[in-house]
Structure 1
Amino acid sequence: MISNARQTLANFFCKAQCATAMLLLALLASQASTLQAAPKDNSPPTYKKQPANNQTRDKPAHWRDALRMEERETALQAIARKNPGFEQRTRRNDAFKNDRPALLLLEKRPLKKNARGARLVDAYYYDYQRNETIHCIVDAATGEIHLQRTVTDLQLPLTQDEIQHSFDVFLQSPHRRKLANAYEVATGQSLIDISNVKFKAYVFHASANSARLNRGAKKCGRTRCAQLLLYTRENIALNITPVIDLSRSKVLQANTEPGFASEEIPAAEAVSDPSHVHEHDH
C-alpha cells in the first residue's frame, strides 16, 4: 500500500512539473510573436527645445557675465550725450583722424572678490589734441555716468586703426627708402611689392632705450606713440623700428636699432645735457 501511494504521489508531481513547463513555453512563444509583430520605430530621436536668443536676452545679466550688446550701446549713448564731440566707434583704417577723442577700450568693470552690485562699464577714450586719456565709468543698465576723469601719462594698447595708421604714416614719409634698404639687407632682394612687408605695432614709451632716442621720440609716453615691428612674409625681422607720433601723424624717428639710432639724433641733441633742456609743446 505504501509503495503504491509513493508511486501515485510521484506521478502527480511529474505531471504538475510538465504542466508548468508547458505553460512557461506558451508564455515565451506569445511574447516572441508580439515582438515580431511590433512595427520598427525609425523616427529620429527627440531633443528638448532650447529657448530662442530673444528669450534668453530678456533674462537679467549675471554680475559675472561679459557685457551684452545692449549694455555696450547704453554706455556709449550715455557718454555721447554728455560728450557730443567724442568718437563713439573705432574708425575704419582709411578714415583715421585724431581731431576728436577716440574710443580705445570698452569693457565690464571688474568687481572685488565676492562682491555684488550694479554692472558697470569702463570706457577709455584718447584725446589726441590734449594728449590725455579719458576714463568713464557708466552703469550698464541705466546709463548713469558715475565718473569721468582725465588721466595723463596713461597709454592703453593700440587699436587696430592706430596700428594701420602708423604703418600708413611711415609709408607716406621720406623714410620709406630706409625700409627698402632694410628689406634688401635681410632678404638679398629688392622690395618691389610692399605687400611682402608685414607689420605689428605697440605703444611706445620713451623710458625704453632713451639713450637711442632723439628729442621728439623722448616725449613718447606723454604723447601717444607707436613703434612698428616690420618683417617679411617668411617672418624675417627687418632691422628697422620706426616711432610714430599718433597725435600729429608724424614719424618721430625712423630707426631706434643699435648702430642706426645715432643717425637719427642730431649732433646738437647728442652733446647737450638733457637735464638742462626745457622742452615746450607748441
Structure 2
Amino acid sequence: MTNHSPTMQLVMRGIVLLWALASPASHAGNLDPLAPNEMARAASQATLSATPTTTSTRRQASTTSTAPANEVLLIERHINNKGNTERLADVYTYDYHTNQTIITVVNLDTNTTLAKHYQQNVQLPLTDKELKRAAELIFNDDEQRPLLNAEFKRITGKTLSDPKQLHVKAFVFHASSLPEQLNAASQECGVQRCAQVLLYTVDSVVFEVSPIVNLSANVVTQNIGF
C-alpha cells in the first residue's frame, strides 16, 4: 500500500472538495440569487395578488384609518424542494392595517402566486422608504421640531433650517426592549411596526433624544433620552 505524505493527503482532499463543489449535486435547488428584474417581477406579482385580509387582530382597529400602503420589506430566493428547478421567490410585505408580515411565494417561471402566509409579531429590518418616512414624521411634528431645533443649537451653535443638516439612522423598535420607560402609545411597538430613530449632525455628534415613531399609525409616540 502506498503511503502518502501529509502534504499530498491535503492536496488530494482539496481536489475531492473542489470536485464536489463543482458537481451538479452542490447546486441542488438552483439557489443562485434572484436578478434585479426577477425581484421586480416578484414584487409586482405579490402586489397584484394582494387582497384585503379578513384576519382579525387585536390592534387592527387602532391603525386602520391612518395606516399607509403595504411595504415590501424583503425579496429573496425561495428554497426549492429537492429536484425542483423552478425559479421561486419569497416576498415579505408588511400590512400596516392588520400589522402582519405577509410572505408571498411567487413562481417566476409562470408569474403566479403559489402561497401566502400571514405572521404577526414578525418585524423585519426597516426599508429605506420607512426610514425616510420616519424622519419626515419627526421633522413635521409640532412637538418634535422645537426639540430638534434646540438640540441642534446646543450642539452646533447654529440654527436648524433644513432637515438635510441632520443625518438619520433607525432600527425596528420593540416595546420589550424598554418596558419601564414607555408610555401607552409606545407599548404598542412590536405588535405594531415602530422605529427608534437616531439623529446626529454632519460631524457625527449624536442627539441626546431618540424619537420613537409608530409607522403603523404615522405618529411620533415619545422620546427616549440617553
Q: Say which SS state the counterpart of residue 200 (structure 2) adopts.
A: strand
Is the counterpart of residue 159 in structure 1 residue 164 in structure 2?
no
Q: Say which SS state the counterpart of residue 118 (structure 2) adopts.
A: strand
Sort the Cα spacing of 1:77 and 1:192 in 2 relative to 1 into closer, same or farther, 3 A. closer
Paired AA for residue 33 in structure 2? A
Q: Which residue of 2 aligns with 1:18?
A: none
Once the two structures are superposed, the pairs formed by residues 45-194 of structure 1 within 5 Å of their partners are 63-83=30-50, 98-110=67-79, 115-117=82-84, 118-174=86-142, 175-194=144-163
How many residues in Structure 1 have an aligned counterpart in Structure 2? 184
Q: Residues of 2 paired with 1:236 and 1:122: CA distance? A: 39
Aligned sequence identity (%) = 30
Q: Residues of 2 paired with 1:192 and 1:100: CA distance? A: 30
Q: Residues of 1 paired with 2:167 and 2:34: CA distance? A: 33
Aligned-residue CA RMSD (Å)? 2.5
Q: Counting strand residues as a fraction of each chain, which structure ranks higher?
A: 2
Paired AA for residue 217 in structure 2? R
Moved more, 183-192 or 239-248: 183-192
Moved more, 75-84 or 159-168: 75-84
Gaps of at least 5 residues in structure 1 are 1-61, 87-96, 259-282
- CA apart distance, 1:69: 4.2
TM-score, normalisation: structure 2: 0.72
Q: Residues of 2 paired with 1:246 and 1:237: CA distance? A: 22
TM-score, normalisation: structure 1: 0.59
- CA apart distance, 1:235: 0.6
Q: Counting helix residues as a fraction of each chain, which structure ranks higher?
A: 1
Gaps of at least 5 residues in structure 2 are 1-28, 54-65
Paired AA for residue 233 in structure 1? V
Paired AA for residue 201 in structure 2? T
Q: Say which SS state the counterpart of residue 78 (structure 1) adopts.
A: helix
Q: Residues of 2 paired with 1:172 and 1:232: CA distance? A: 18
Q: Which residue of 1 aligns with 2:171?
A: 202
Q: Which residue of 1 aligns with 2:4?
A: none
Once the two structures are superposed, the pairs formed by residues 35-50 of structure 1 within 5 Å of their partners are none
Q: Residues of 1 paired with 2:48 and 2:148: CA distance? A: 45
Paired AA for residue 63 in structure 1? N
Report if aligned partners of 2:31, 2:77 keep a CA contact under 8 Å in 1.
Answer: no
Q: Residues of 1 paired with 2:220 and 2:176: CA distance? A: 18
Q: Say which SS state the counterpart of residue 175 (structure 2) adopts.
A: coil
Please list every run of at least 4 consecutive aligned residues from structure 1 whose deviation after the TM superposition is greater than 4 angstroms: none
Q: Residues of 2 paired with 1:194 and 1:81: CA distance? A: 35
Report if aligned partners of 1:74, 1:141 keep a CA contact under 8 Å in 2.
Answer: no
Q: Which residue of 1 aligns with 2:201?
A: 232
Once the two structures are superposed, the pairs formed by residues 188-267 of structure 1 within 5 Å of their partners are 188-253=157-222, 255-258=223-226
Kindly provide the CA deviation profile for residues 205-264 of structure 1, in whole angstroms up to 9, marking residues without a partner as x: 1111221111111110100111111000111111110011111211101x2125xxxxxx
Sort the Cα spacing of 1:70 and 1:167 in 2 relative to 1 into closer, same or farther, 3 A. closer
Paired AA for residue 222 in structure 1? V
Bigger Rg over Cα: 1
Report if aligned partners of 2:43, 2:72 keep a CA contact under 8 Å in 1.
Answer: no
Q: Residues of 2 paired with 1:197 and 1:205: CA distance? A: 25
